[in-house]
Structure 1
Amino acid sequence: MSVILNGELIQLPEHVVFISDVLEHYEIHNRVVVVEVNGEIVNKVEHQSTRLSDKDRIEIVHFVGGG
């Protein structure tokens, strides 16, 4: 499936079908993130049940500490 992830058109592997799969695929599943799909913020408890579709627009923001 093709999606737009943070502004970039990418092809996801076949096994990536849920938001949680995307986070695991990019090895950010253990970070605090905000995920938006097609303009709607998806609550963390819904990451494992929210199925993605071809051409979805996904934005993932994670926080970086520093000073």
Structure 2
Amino acid sequence: MQLVINGTATEVTATTLSDLLTELGHTGTVATALNETFVPVGARATQTLSPGDRIEILAPMQGG
């Protein structure tokens, strides 16, 4: 299925947001949004994805 992840069209096999994070190798703390709506950690496993969905994945960064 094709999704837009952080502005880039990407082909994935995941069907839930949680599976997508695993497929993309995100193992740390991240914030997620689906079609411009925040998705909390507890809802990712049941949040299904559809072709064309827009996903934003943001990771905290150190520095100053």
| TM-score for both structures, normalised by structure 1 | 0.87
Aligned residues: 64
Instruction: State whether structure 2 residue 53 is matched by structure 1 residue 53.
Output: no
Q: What is the CA RMSD across the aligned residues, in angstroms? A: 1.1
Tell me the secondary structure at the aligned position of residue 21 of structure 2. Answer: helix
Give the equivalent residue in structure 2 for 1:7.
7
Q: Deviations over 1:12-58 (max 9, x none)?
A: 12xx1000111101111x31111000010001000100000010000
Distance 2:25 2:9 in 1: 19
Instruction: State whether structure 2 residue 45 is matched by structure 1 residue 21.
Output: no
Distance 1:61 1:38 in 2: 14
Q: Which runs of 5+ in 1 are unaligned?
A: none
Aligned partner of 1:35 among 29, 32, 44: 32
| TM-score for both structures, normalised by structure 2 | 0.91
Q: Which amino acid aligns with 2:20?
A: V
Q: After TM superposition, which residue ranges in structure 1, 4 or more long, deviate above 2 angstroms?
A: 64-67
Between the aligned residues of both structures, percent identity stands at 28
